[in-house]
Amino acid sequence: MSSRIELLVAKHVSGAADVLVNTYALPPWNENWSLEAAAENVTYVLETRRSVALVAVDEGRVLGSALG
């Protein structure tokens, strides 16, 4: 495994959304996000001025993200 940290760009949105859905479904959040809502959230951050969004990627697969 050789993961890398990259700037989140449009090609990462669906992978980052999948990570959000799966992460927030677990304790302590136990939230039920749809993939569509998660993708909208990631896209919103991506399009917000002065925001920073990063992803950890391994062989094209998004492993995690940091949005702010």
Q: What's the pLDDT tens digit per position in 2-47? A: 899 999 999 999 999 999 999 999 999 999 999 999 999 999 999 9
Which pLDDT value is given to residue 38? 98
Taking CB atoms within 8 Å and a gap of at least 24, the contacts of 13-18 are 13/39, 13/42, 13/43, 13/46, 14/39, 15/55, 15/57, 15/61, 15/62, 16/42, 16/53, 16/55, 16/62, 16/65, 16/67, 17/41, 17/42, 18/62
The domain that holds 16 is classified in CATH as 3.40.630.30
Cα separation of 43 and 10, whole Å? 8
The number of domains in the chain is: 1
The pLDDT, as a whole number, for residue 56 is 98
Q: Is the pLDDT of residue 1 over 80?
A: no
Which domain range does residue 17 map to? 4-67
For residue 34, the model assigns a pLDDT of: 98
At 21 the pLDDT is 98
